[in-house]
Amino acid sequence: MEEFIDNLPPMDLMRSEKMSYVQLIIPAESAHRAISYLGELGLLQFHDLNVEKSPFQRTFVNQVKRCGEMSRKLRFFKDQITKAGIVSLEHPFMQPDVELEELEIQLAEHEHELIELNTNTERLQKTYNELLEFRMVLDKAGRFLFSEKNHHTIGEDRELEESVNSNHEFIDTASLLEKELRSGFSEQSGVRFISGIVCKSKVVRFERMLFRATRGNMLFNQAPADEEIVDPVTFEKDAKIVFMVFFSGEQAKTKILKICEAFCANCYPVPEDLTKQHQVTREVLSRLSDLEATLDAGIRHRNKALSSIDYNLTKWVTLVRREKAVYDTLNMLNFDVTKKCLVGEGWCPIFATTKIQEALQRATYDSNSLVGVIFHVMDSVESPPTYFRTNHFTNAFQEIVDAYGVARYQESNPAVYTVITFPFLFAVMFGDWGHGICLLIGSLILIARESKLSKKKLGSFMEMLFGGRYVLLLMSIFSIYCGLIYNEFFSVPFHIFGGSAYRCRDATCSNADTVGLVKYRDPYPFGVDPSWRGSRSELPFLNSIKMKMSILLGVAQMNLGMFLSYFNARFFGSSLDIRYQFIPQMIFLNSLFGYLSLLIIIKWCTGSQADLYHVMIYMFLSPTDNIGENELFWGQRPLQIILLLFALVAVPWMLFPKPFILKKLHTERFQGSTYGMLGTSEIDLEVEPDSARAQHHEDFNFSEVFVHQMIHSIEFVLGAVSNTASYLRLWALSLAHSELSTVFYEKVLLLAWSYDNFIIRLVGLAVFSFATAFILLMMETLSAFLHALRLHWVEFQGKFYHGDGQKFKPFSFASLTDDED
């Protein structure tokens, strides 16, 4: 048996990859190339040898700074491109073919050009804006003046269209002003005006301030500008208001001008004379059209420059990002004493050593270096990182396990079993083949569009769904399977596998729900007989079946977990753990709950009426009493007594021996005389590196070890009960799911269908489909998912999984995605 286990072929996912700690000695001239080849390979995790140095004290700090500067420029280009509204086309990914120095010069040129263009456009835009504002002021203010004049010449005939834009104040005070206006807008009357344009958001405060500053001796007219002004720097459009202030006095003028300045209001002179006004307007218009042409040409030029940048942008960004990563990695390397070589250390999986060596040779060859890179394996004190080679399919499952904790190096990996057990336990809680088909369609859509979606940036929710698409696929397939067993399709049973085994006792029983049925032929071949549906004994029957099934599944999974702890102990050569932990644990769990499972199976096979609660409870309370009618098989009572005794013995067995044996070993080890026995001693530590062993045993603290063992034992003993009970959630959630879908089907859909009204039926259908989609397909999926997660993390992995490793993070260009943005 043991030989068979040892001779099993190794599987990728069973245990993490074997790692080795390697040292690279790279000649300085080929260092950059070597590191970038390694980055393309992506199988070496560098160890930072300069931890104590701050970032700006490291060797390649200048290059890192240059890269930072370049990526700043690239961000600037990107910003400009998006602002200019140029749609960037999907360029095929190209390997960067330019050198860093070349690129730096290019980027600097481009930036310079762009900044110059920007300042030009900005200046032009500013003048353009001013002219535009002037035109609007002329237009509106002219109307103010004109309307006022009109007002007193035509008299009562108010032109509403003209005064519509002016505020109420104007209309109210118009008559007051008439006297002054009649004498004309001239310097003699002392009434003057300032006209200009101000931001819409500031206009109320502006008016209030003017009112205060002049103590109310002013008249404020305003009209919204027709066009929005584009801010030359931010490219945002501002709504503006044309205003016109009438006032008298020199002091007021300086005050008002100061206020205008404070509010960033641009003032423009409007000639009073109508002919002069027209003349100015014409002038402004002609200059505007000139400027517009220049501005358009400038923008076209700029856009051309930007799109030529855009063409190469992705390539450059990738290059700069890679270069920065290379220099960051180079900064982790040490110079050796001669200052001619760089020394790097790191972890790599053993299978990758040849590939790494090839890459290093290639680097040496390509950079025409005379000295090759020296690559050799070293011992390390630290425990190696954990690395699993996953594919699209297994990755999501590995993520589920890693979310709990990354496996200790070479520990047996629960993800292998999770691939099947996780979707299966989910499906036990989510058993409905109608809902399962919906999920299946969803997951198939995700998988079909895999190649498209994987390139896009998704929202956090979609990202999660997409990442778990294969989990979803398996979950849906299993829930179709479980749904067929439960015989539920949106809670409706179907006669798929032939007719029901039951029928009415006689022809008179119209309602099969109330009167007993008789069995008249062989049992329904697969799953639950559809006749149970709606009968009075439906719930007791299904509850009993699901509860027992949950216990069986739970005990099976926990046993699997414990067997994995056995394999772990075997792998790490710790027979102590097998003898004093695995064996008593197996005995304890199986003598109680393994026995319960046995009883369940016997009861199912024999069709006995025995009460299992009673059997289990009295097994503890009075094991010697006669079982009576609940006896399932011969010799049950003595068997129960023996099992109980086993369980009682197992508790001290798992509690006491291990810490004492550890203590004995510890004292023996340091006596020196028994040094020779080490190799054959209980704990074979050969797999651990030397220094780790020394460290491990220097601080052996008996009380700590003992308390630790006590906690573990108590946790296991209590956990055996509570974990088994925890698996009953499988039944509870499955019950909740089927009851909820029954309610929605019967109380919503069937109720609505009983009316002969189209609208009510439609509403009923709508409510039913929404409830199905959001409550059953989303909420229930989520809750069943979480419960399956818990069962795996706590009940299953708690039996064997340490989960205290660190993940292998190789230096790889592929992992350098857009995380900087």
Partner 1 sequence: MYGFEALTFNIHGGYLEAIVRGHRASLLTAADYNNLCQCETLDDIKMHLSATEYGPYLQNEPSPLHTTTIVEKCTLKLVDEYKNMLCQATEPLSTFLEYITYGHMIDNVVLIVTGTLHERDVQELLEKCHPLGMFDSIATLAVAQNMRELYRLVLVDTPLAPYFSECITSEDLDDMNIEIMRNTLYKAYLEDFYRFCQKLGGATAEIMSDLLAFEADRRAVNITINSIGTELTRDDRRKLYSNFGLLYPYGHEELAICEDIDQVRGAMEKYPPYQSIFAKLSYGEGQMLDKAFYEEEVKRLCLAFEQQFHYAVFFAYMRLREQEIRNLMWISECVAQNQKSRVHDSVVFIF
Q: Which is nearer to partner 1, 255 or 666 (CB)?
A: 255
- Identify the helix (H) or strand (E) that includes residue 211: helix 203-213
Give min distance, CB of 71 to partner 1, in A. 8
Q: Which of residues 99, 261, 625, 804 is near partner 1 by CB under 8 A? A: 261
Give min distance, CB of 546 to partner 1, in A. 41
Judged by CB under 8 A, the stretch of 29-37, 51-59, 493-501, 683-691 that binds partner 1 is 51-59
What is the pattern of x (binds partner 1, CB under 8 A) and - over residues 59-98?
--x--xx--xx--x--xx----------------------
- Note whether 55 binds partner 1 by CB under 8 A: yes
- Note whether 209 binds partner 1 by CB under 8 A: yes
Burial label for 57, CB within 10 Å (0-12, 13-18, 19+), is exposed
Judged by CB under 8 A, the stretch of 234-242, 258-266, 378-386, 390-398 that binds partner 1 is 258-266
Give min distance, CB of 330 to partner 1, in A. 16
Give min distance, CB of 115 to partner 1, in A. 10
The encoded tokens of residue 739 equal 């009851």
Window 388 to 427, contacts with partner 1 (CB under 8 A): none
Q: Which of residues 57, 186, 217, 701 is near partner 1 by CB under 8 A? A: 57
Q: Which is nearer to partner 1, 69 or 538 (CB)?
A: 69
502: which residues sit within 8 A by CB, 6+ positions away? 517, 518, 519, 520, 529, 531
Q: Which of residues 49, 84, 86, 259 is near partner 1 by CB under 8 A? A: 259
Q: Which is nearer to partner 1, 260 or 474 (CB)?
A: 260
Beta bridge partners of 347: 21, 45
Give min distance, CB of 462 to partner 1, in A. 26
Q: Which of residues 239, 262, 274, 374 is near partner 1 by CB under 8 A? A: 262
Q: Which is nearer to partner 1, 94 or 204 (CB)?
A: 204
Sign of torsion, CA 238 243 249 250? positive
- Note whether 213 binds partner 1 by CB under 8 A: yes
Give min distance, CB of 223 to partner 1, in A. 23
Give min distance, CB of 83 to partner 1, in A. 14
CA–CA distance from 25 to each of 131, 335, 371, 817 (Å)?
Answer: 68, 9, 10, 29
Q: Which of residues 3, 8, 51, 56 is near partner 1 by CB under 8 A? A: 56
Give the Cα separation of 74 and 57 in Å (integer): 26
Burial label for 626, CB within 10 Å (0-12, 13-18, 19+), is exposed
Q: Which of residues 112, 123, 205, 392 is near partner 1 by CB under 8 A? A: 205
Placement of tokens 């500013």 in the chain: 126
Give the Cα separation of 13 and 9 in Å (integer): 12
665: which residues sit within 8 A by CB, 6+ positions away? 681, 682, 683
Q: Which of residues 7, 54, 511, 703 is near partner 1 by CB under 8 A? A: 54
Placement of tokens 């790191």 in the chain: 346
Give min distance, CB of 209 to partner 1, in A. 6
Judged by CB under 8 A, the stretch of 253-261, 456-464, 667-675, 688-696 that binds partner 1 is 253-261
Q: Which is nearer to partner 1, 254 or 817 (CB)?
A: 254
Check if the beta carbon of residue 693 is closer than 8 Å to that of residue 669.
no
3-state SS, 369-405, equals: CCCCCEEEEECCCCCCCECCCCCHHHHHHHHHHHHHC
Q: Which long-range contacts (CB under 8 A, 24 or more apart) does 46-55 make?
A: 46/329, 46/332, 46/333, 46/344, 46/345, 46/346, 46/811, 47/332, 47/344, 47/345, 47/346, 47/347, 48/332, 49/332, 49/333, 49/334, 49/343, 49/344, 49/345, 50/331, 50/332, 50/333, 50/334, 55/331
Give the Cα separation of 84 and 598 in Å (integer): 74
Which amino acid would we find at residue 101?
Answer: E
Q: Which is nearer to partner 1, 629 or 820 (CB)?
A: 820
Give min distance, CB of 205 to partner 1, in A. 6
- Note whether 816 binds partner 1 by CB under 8 A: no
Give min distance, CB of 255 to partner 1, in A. 6
Binding residue count for partner 1, defined by CB under 8 A: 22
Give the Cα separation of 167 and 164 in Å (integer): 8
Site residues, partner 1 (CB under 8 A): 54-57, 61, 64-65, 68-69, 72, 75-76, 205, 209, 212-213, 255, 258-259, 261-263
